[in-house]
Chains A and B, each alone.
Chain A
Amino acid sequence: MLPIDPDDRLLRLLRGEPLTPEPTSDDERVLLRLGRAAQAAGARTDEELPAPPTQIWERVAAELGLAGVIPGPGAEPEPDTVAQPPATGGGATILPLMQRPPRPGRSWRGLVLAAASLVAVIAVGAALLTNRTGGSQVVAEVALQPLEGSGSGEARLVRSADGRTYLRLDQQLDPLPEGSYAEVWLIDPASNL
Chain B
Amino acid sequence: MSAVGATDLMVRRRSPGRVHQMIWVGYGDHVTPPEDEAQLTLLEQRFAAGYEDSLQQAYQRFGPLVYRLCCRTVGEDDAADVSQDVWVAAWRGRSGYHRERGSLAGWLVGIARFKCIDHLRARERAGRARAAAEQSGAGGDLADTTALTAERLLLAEALRQLDPRPRSVLELAFYSDATHQEIAERTGLPLGTVKSDIRRGLDRLRRYLEGFDAADRP
Contact = CB atoms under 8 A, between A and B. Distances in A.
Interface of A: 7-8, 10-11, 14-15, 30-31, 33-41, 43, 45-47, 49-53, 55-57, 59-61, 63-64, 66-67, 70, 73, 81, 94-98, 107-118, 121-122, 124-126, 128-129, 132, 139-151, 153, 155-158, 164-177, 179-189, 192-193
Nearest to A96: B10
Interface string B22-33: 111111111100
B3 interface: yes
A146 B42 CA distance: 12
Contacts of A171: 4-6, 24
Contacts of B16: 139
B175 A60 contact: no
A142 B80 contact: no
Interface residues of B, number: 84
B91 interface: yes
Contacts, number: 300
A7 B180 contact: yes
A88 to B, nearest CB: 12
A126 B5 contact: yes
B88 A140 contact: no
Contact of B53 (A36, A46, A70, A173): A70
Contacts of A175: 2
Interface centre among A56, A150, A187 (most CB of B within 10 A): A56
A56 to B, nearest CB: 5
Contacts of A33: 151, 209
A143 B80 CA distance: 41
A188 B21 contact: yes
B190 interface: no
A43 B22 CA distance: 42
Contacts of B175: 38, 43
